Amino acid sequence: MLIAHVGDVSNLVLDPDIDSYYMMDGVIFRIPLLVQKISQARDLGRRIALGDALSSDKLAELIFVLPGIVENAFDGIKLGVAKAYGFKNVYGAPNVKDLINQEYDMFVGAIGAFLAQTKPIRAVALDSAFNAKRYVEAGNVALSALKKLYAAEAKALDALLVARINALTFQKRLMQFGVPLLWLAVIYLLIGFYRSVMKTVNSLDEISKKLVRGDTEEKVKLDAKDELAKVGASFNVIGQALVQRNKDLEENKKKLEDSLRLLEESYKKLEESNARIQEQQTQLIQSEKMASLGQMVAGIAHEVNTPLGFVRNNIEVLEKSQRRLLDVLERYRDLRDALINGQLDELEAKLLGIVEASKKIDSSNFSEKIRALIAESLDGIDRIQQLVIVLKNFSRLDEASFKETDLNQGIESTLKIAHNLVKYKAEVIKDFAPDMQVECFPARMNQVFLNIITNAVQAIEGQGHIWIKTYKEDGMAVVKIRDDGRGIPKENLKKIFEPFFTTKEVGQGTGLGLSIVYKIIEQHRGTITVQSEVGKGTEFTIKIPVKQSQELASPASTLAFN
Amino acid sequence: MSSESRILLVDDEPMVLSSLSRLFEDDYVVFTANGGAQALDIVRREPIKVIISDQRMPGMLGHEVLRQVKQISPNTVRMLLTGYSDLDAIISSVNAGEIFRYINKPWKADNLCNLVRLGVQIYDRIAQLQAKEQAKAEALKTSSRIHIEVEEKHGSVLFVDYDENEVKRLVEKFSKSFDVSGATSVDEAFKELAKRPVSVVVSNVNFADVDGIGFLNAIRQEYPQVVTVILTEVKDATLAVRSINELSVFKYLVKPASDDVIGKTLSEAVEKNKLYAKAPSTNVRQTAETIAPEIVAPKVEESALRLRLRAAQALLSKTNLRNES
């Protein structure tokens, strides 16, 4: 059966699953070849030993071809067997190694010997009968080993095939009994599956409840591997997202609390800086006042400097003149003493000296000069005194409440203060109504006039004019101050009373002047309006009530610019 | 001679005019004008040696009056009476070379008298020098037809500033057009000056240890033909007034000044230096110093600076000798 099987090569080779055919390959293809070739070689060896003279073809075959073929086939078998040794438990078959081991060792030894025997022949001599004989013997041994191996392999193959047949039989039986069992298994699995689904659903339910409470990071236990599992997985994703969201919310809450704290802090800082700004604003208003004061002081300084300059100069000239007078006086005294003492010899020289020294003081010009010097000096001192009075009038520091005051006078003293500023730039044309007695804060109104007049002067390019008109109308005192300066552009006209609005360069003005004016007029319950045309000039119209009502009589609390 | 000298007083304040007139009437022929227009009329008519003008006047400001006087009568010594420091006007008047002297109000009669006397002397001296120079020029014209044009190298310029980068930058910038060197301290500047003749010194005046004006004055006294230019970040009326009164600075440039302006100033300054060499009469400052050193007397600090300068000179000549031997 086996041999028959072995002979049926196609059947065996067709089954690619069974790796053990490697061995079969060794047996089926190599062993018959080996047997044939070794027999051939032994026969040729025998003929040499019997004294036959072989043809050169045969000899070459014996020496070169046959051993090569034998060697090749030998290697193939060794390879097949080595692989067969590696196989394990093929359908419960015995190990190939156990089955062929002994025969295989013999086979290896015999073929090895054969090849060893043939080697010296190949190497040394072909015609030695002794050698040929050994050749033949080795061939015989190899052949018998081959037979035995062949048998062992056949046995192993047999065992393998039996194992395979058994396996197939088992499969057949399994088909017979296995199908109902399979159904049972399916039902069992279905029940298991249902349970697993229910478990998943319950888990879903439970976890979602926990999730709703927001106190879990658990995941749904996933046993199933189907759509529900997908649902579960999605649920897990959603759940985890929810948990994450929850965490995020917590974090956001914390962040919000932090921001709230920051907000509170910055609010506090804001309040502080607000206070600081207010303080700075007060300081700015103060510095604006100081700036206008500074301007005023500079103007006054110049105004004072001029009379001071010539008064001082006059006194120095007077001093020089007095020195001359004293010189003449001294000479006269000298002459008198000489006369009294009777020193007559020097009289002429002394007289000549007096005449010489008196030349400059004898002229009518000299006494006129002294008189003028004194008069002009006094005039200068009067001018300084006037300035001091004007300053006092302007500031009216002694009056801290509404006082009936002549506005005309206020404007006049303001013009004197601003004289230095105005005189080089503008001619002032006054049109004053005679009675301008008004209840007001004189010092503050003067500040208003000074501010507006200063602006007017600054608006004039080159030489210009300032018109000042006062009159009363419907219980209001009206002051109009007009200039022919460059005028205010329309877009700026609305903003001029706003604090900090300025068109002057940084450092030139705080932009508070007119806002202070506005405040002061407001405090007097008056109005201030402005008309302007670019290139033509500007006119400010101030109206304040002639009489202030009683409740405003104590103004200290309402006045911010005190 | 002095009794024939004509001086002109300009002020819009009659009291000031009469007061000043009385101060000068014994010694000079005094003219008065109540404003710029009147003053210019008089200057056109009369050979005025000294003019004193108030700065603040309606119509024309004092420095403008003096600017026009300079054109009409360049030799008239011009003084400005200021009671009110108008910074920009002062600096621009410095740079326009309008003013010989600033006088602050209220003035002292004695000082003013001295200044006017000096002014008159300067006027006379310059007239003398000019006559001599003219005669010399005439003689030169007639005697030799061959005019020897000495092609001088561009003027040599020394930059002095405490800011090393600034000096480096300026030296690099102007090394093409001028023969330039730089110094970052007073002593370094003195050494540079001792090394070679310098025609223009461009200097800051804002040094930590030394009064800048005094420093420049020391240079001026040692090298009278050096033209000084102030290049500083300090915009200060007092400094500007001092730069004229004590130094007769050529230009007062306020940083940041454009390279164009600096370059132009350098060219002008170099020209000025050449003019000083050719016609010493134009060097009013030096003339003033030769006439009345007591009025433009160096201060103590300046003397000390001059000692330092001379020490630098001595040191350098010594090392030169050593190198030669």
CATH of the domain at A414: 3.30.565.10
CB–CB contact B16 A309 (8 Å) = yes
Report pLDDT for B279. Answer: 74
pLDDT digits (tens, 9 = 90+) for A377-426: 999 999 889 888 877 777 765 566 778 889 998 899 888 888 877 887 88
Tell me, yes or no, whether A330 and A414 share the same domain: no
Tell me, yes or no, whether B176 and B287 share the same domain: yes
CB–CB contact B23 A309 (8 Å) = no
Higher pLDDT, B91 or A129: B91
Tell me, yes or no, whether A433 and A335 share the same domain: no
Report pLDDT for A458. Answer: 85
User: Using CA atoms, how far apart are residues B78 and B72, in angstroms rounded to an integer?
Assistant: 12
pLDDT digits (tens, 9 = 90+) for A211-249: 667 666 666 665 556 666 677 677 777 777 777 878 888
Tell me, yes or no, whether B88 and B187 share the same domain: no
Tell me, yes or no, whether A455 and A381 share the same domain: no
Domain that holds residue A150: 2-176
Q: Tell me the two tokens of residue A273.
A: 């800086």
User: How far does A527 lie from chain B, in Å, by closest CA?
Assistant: 35
Residue B95 to residues B69, B98, B248, B249: CA-CA distances in angstroms?
A: 16, 8, 10, 9
Tell me, yes or no, whether B206 and B61 share the same domain: no
**pLDDT of B280 above 80:** no
User: How far does A354 lie from chain B, in Å, by closest CA?
Assistant: 19
CB–CB contact A310 B15 (8 Å) = yes
Q: Regarding beta strands A537-545 and A527-533, do their DSSP bridges make them parallel or antiparallel, or are they unpaired?
A: antiparallel
Report pLDDT for A191. Answer: 85
The last residue of one of the domains, among A357, A388, A419, is A388
**For B214-237, what is the mean pLDDT?**
83
pLDDT digits (tens, 9 = 90+) for B239-252: 888 888 777 888 88
CB–CB of A158/A2 below 8 Å?
yes
Residues of chain A with C-beta less than 8 angstroms from the C-beta of B26: 360
User: Using CA atoms, how far apart are residues B64 and B92, in angstroms rounded to an integer?
Assistant: 10
**pLDDT of B179 above 70:** yes
**pLDDT of B44 above 70:** yes
Tell me, yes or no, whether A490 and A377 share the same domain: no
User: How far does B13 lie from chain A, in Å, by closest CA?
Assistant: 8
**For B148-162, what is the mean pLDDT?**
71
Residue A229 lies in a domain: no
Split into its structural domains, chain A has a count of: 3
Report pLDDT for A557. Answer: 38
**pLDDT of A470 above 80:** yes
Poorest-pLDDT segment among A163-172, A383-392, B199-208: A163-172
Tell me, yes or no, whether B206 and B258 share the same domain: yes
Tell me, yes or no, whether A351 and A447 share the same domain: no
For an interface test with A, the pick among B27, B55, B60, B105 (most A C-beta atoms closer than 10 Å) comes out as: B105
User: Using CA atoms, how far apart are residues A382 and A191, in angstroms rounded to an integer?
Assistant: 127
**pLDDT of A318 above 80:** yes
Report pLDDT for B52. Answer: 95
What's the angle, vertex CA A303, arms to CA A298 and CA A305, rounded to 5? 90
Domain that holds residue B173: 156-317
User: Using CA atoms, how far apart are residues A15 and A203, in angstroms rounded to an integer?
Assistant: 51
User: Using CA atoms, how far apart are residues B8 and A153, in angstroms rounded to an integer?
Assistant: 150
CB–CB of A132/A45 below 8 Å?
yes
**Band of the pLDDT at B296, cuts 50, 70, 90?**
low
What's the angle, vertex CA B292, arms to CA B291 and CA B296, rounded to 5? 130
CB–CB contact A305 B83 (8 Å) = yes
Residues of chain A with C-beta less than 8 angstroms from the C-beta of B108: 312, 316
CB–CB contact A298 B84 (8 Å) = yes
Pairs of CB atoms within 8 A across A/B: 72
Tell me, yes or no, whether A406 and A546 share the same domain: yes
Nearest CA in chain A to B26: A360
Tell me, yes or no, whether B201 and B287 share the same domain: yes
Report pLDDT for A513. Answer: 76
Residue B186 to residues A172, B215, B240, B309: CA-CA distances in angstroms?
A: 120, 7, 20, 9
Tell me, yes or no, whether B68 and B217 share the same domain: no
What is the average pLDDT value for chain A, to the nearest integer?
77
User: Using CA atoms, how far apart are residues A129 and A131, in angstroms rounded to an integer?
Assistant: 5
Of these ranges, A99-113, A173-187, A441-455, B37-51, the one predicted with the greatest mean pLDDT is B37-51
CB–CB contact A309 B22 (8 Å) = no
Residues of chain A with C-beta less than 8 angstroms from the C-beta of B57: 424
CA A8, distance to chain mean position in Å, is: 84
User: How far does B229 lie from chain A, in Å, by closest CA?
Assistant: 29
CB–CB contact A313 B107 (8 Å) = yes
A313: nearest CB among B23, B58, B84: B23
Structure ipTM: 0.73
Residue B127 lies in a domain: no
Split into its structural domains, chain B has a count of: 2
A302: nearest CB among B23, B58, B83: B83
Each as own residue / partner, the long-range contacts of residues A388-392 (CB below 8 Å, 24 or more positions apart, any chain) are: A390/A416, A390/A417, A391/A300, A391/A417
Instruction: Specify the CATH number for the domain of residue A107.
Output: 1.20.1420.10
SS3 B193: helix
B107 touching chain A per CB within 8 A: yes
**For B201-214, what is the mean pLDDT?**
82
Tell me, yes or no, whether A152 and A57 share the same domain: yes
**For A483-510, what is the mean pLDDT?**
74
User: Using CA atoms, how far apart are residues A483 and A524, in angstroms rounded to an integer?
Assistant: 24
Report pLDDT for A176. Answer: 75
The Cα diameter of chain A in Å comes to 204
The last residue of one of the domains, among A129, A156, A176, is A176
B105: nearest CB among A305, A376, A379: A305
Contacts of A15 (CB under 8 A, 6+ apart): A21
Report pLDDT for A9. Answer: 40
Chain A contacts to B (CB-CB under 8 A): 298, 301-302, 305-310, 312-314, 316-317, 320, 360, 369, 372-373, 376, 379-380, 420, 423-424, 463
Tell me, yes or no, whether A365 and A443 share the same domain: no
User: Using CA atoms, how far apart are residues A156 and A20, in angstroms rounded to an integer?
Assistant: 10
Instruction: Specify the CATH number for the domain of residue B114.
Output: 3.40.50.2300
B3 touching chain A per CB within 8 A: no
**pLDDT of B69 above 90:** yes
Report pLDDT for A256. Answer: 86
Residue B323 lies in a domain: no
What CA dihedral angle connects A220, A225, A227 and A229, to 10 degrees? 10
**Band of the pLDDT at B50, cuts 50, 70, 90?**
very high
**Band of the pLDDT at B281, cuts 50, 70, 90?**
confident
User: How far does A532 lie from chain B, in Å, by closest CA?
Assistant: 26
B18 touching chain A per CB within 8 A: yes
User: How far does A391 lie from chain B, in Å, by closest CA?
Assistant: 19
CB–CB contact B18 A376 (8 Å) = yes
User: How far does A376 lie from chain B, in Å, by closest CA?
Assistant: 7
B58 touching chain A per CB within 8 A: yes
Residue B134 lies in a domain: no
User: Using CA atoms, how far apart are residues B306 and B301, in angstroms rounded to an integer?
Assistant: 9
pLDDT digits (tens, 9 = 90+) for B113-137: 988 998 898 888 888 888 888 888 7
A302: nearest CB among B20, B56, B112: B56
User: How far does B72 lie from chain A, in Å, by closest CA?
Assistant: 25
CA A490, distance to chain mean position in Å, is: 43
Q: What percent of chain B has pLDDT over 90?
A: 17
CB–CB of B308/B221 below 8 Å?
no
For an interface test with B, the pick among A297, A304, A315, A317 (most B C-beta atoms closer than 10 Å) comes out as: A317
**pLDDT of A559 above 60:** no
Residue A219 lies in a domain: no
**pLDDT of B15 above 60:** yes
For an interface test with B, the pick among A304, A306, A457 (most B C-beta atoms closer than 10 Å) comes out as: A306
Each as own residue / partner, the long-range contacts of residues B22-26 (CB below 8 Å, 24 or more positions apart, any chain) are: B22/A314, B22/A317, B22/A369, B22/A372, B22/A373, B23/A313, B23/A316, B23/A317, B23/B109, B23/B112, B23/B113, B24/B113, B24/B116, B26/A360
**pLDDT of B7 above 90:** yes
What is the average pLDDT value for chain B, to the nearest integer?
81
**For A138-151, what is the mean pLDDT?**
79
CB–CB of A113/A119 below 8 Å?
no
pLDDT digits (tens, 9 = 90+) for A5-19: 344 443 444 344 445
Count other C-beta atoms under 10 Å from residue A259's C-beta: 12
User: How far does B265 lie from chain A, in Å, by closest CA?
Assistant: 29
Residue A334 lies in a domain: yes
SS3 A16: coil
B60 touching chain A per CB within 8 A: no
CB–CB contact A317 B19 (8 Å) = yes
Q: Which helix (H) or strand (E) holds A542?
A: strand A537-545
Of these ranges, A70-79, A192-201, A470-479, B181-190, the one predicted with the greatest mean pLDDT is A470-479
pLDDT digits (tens, 9 = 90+) for A269-279: 888 888 888 88
Higher pLDDT, A294 or B110: B110
A450 closest CA partner among A429, A473, A420: A420
Residues of chain B with C-beta less than 8 angstroms from the C-beta of A379: 15
Report pLDDT for B43. Answer: 95
CB–CB contact B109 A298 (8 Å) = no
User: Using CA atoms, how far apart are residues B280 and B289, in angstroms rounded to an integer?
Assistant: 13
The last residue of one of the domains, among A388, A411, A438, is A388
CB–CB contact B22 A310 (8 Å) = no
Tell me, yes or no, whether A92 and A154 share the same domain: yes
pLDDT digits (tens, 9 = 90+) for A367-390: 888 899 999 999 999 988 988 887
Report pLDDT for B151. Answer: 46
User: How far does A369 lie from chain B, in Å, by closest CA?
Assistant: 8
Residues of chain A with C-beta less than 8 angstroms from the C-beta of B83: 301-302, 305-306, 309
pLDDT digits (tens, 9 = 90+) for A178-189: 677 778 888 888
A376: nearest CB among B19, B108, B110: B19
**pLDDT of A560 above 50:** no
pLDDT digits (tens, 9 = 90+) for A50-109: 777 777 777 777 777 777 788 887 887 787 777 777 665 555 666 767 777 777 888 888
Query: If DSSP states are collapsed to H, E and C, what string results for A18-70?
Result: CCCHHHHHHHHHHHHHHHHHHHHHHHHHHHHHCCCCCCHHHHHHHHHHHHHHH
Of these ranges, A387-396, A447-456, B46-55, B303-312, the one predicted with the greatest mean pLDDT is B46-55
Residues of chain B with C-beta less than 8 angstroms from the C-beta of A309: 16, 19, 83, 105-107
User: How far does A370 lie from chain B, in Å, by closest CA?
Assistant: 10
Poorest-pLDDT segment among A49-53, A279-283, A341-345: A49-53
**pLDDT of B209 above 80:** no
A397 closest CA partner among A452, A447, A455: A447
Residues of chain B with C-beta less than 8 angstroms from the C-beta of A360: 26
Tell me, yes or no, whether A455 and A479 share the same domain: yes
Tell me, yes or no, whether B229 and B82 share the same domain: no
Residues of chain A with C-beta less than 8 angstroms from the C-beta of B13: 306, 310
Report pLDDT for A376. Answer: 92
Tell me, yes or no, whether B187 and B270 share the same domain: yes
